[in-house]
Amino acid sequence: MTSRGRAVQIAADRFNAAIQRPAAPQAPPPVDLTQLAVAQTNVKMTAAAGAALGQATGELAGVLVDISV
């Protein structure tokens, strides 16, 4: 193989290696702040409902619990 032929082969090998590289990682999708706010609200409502249920149960049992925030 001549030096020119060898140079062409090296260039072809580098080109093929560049083509076979995996794609760059994609950026994560944007965060939906509405869903986040709804999830936080649901957690707060669940906690409040649990506290209210505990308060009602305690009152029925004769125990007072302060659930004010």
pLDDT tens per residue across span 35-67? 999 999 999 999 999 999 988 887 777 766 666
pLDDT above 80: residue 6: no
Range in 1-5, 11-15, 34-38, 54-58 the model is least confident about = 1-5
Per-residue three-class SS string for the chain: CCHHHHHHHHHHHHHHHHHCCCCCCCCCCCCCHHHHHHHHHHHHHHHHHHHHHHHHHHHHHCCCCCCCC
Q: Would you say the pTM of this structure is higher than 0.85?
A: no
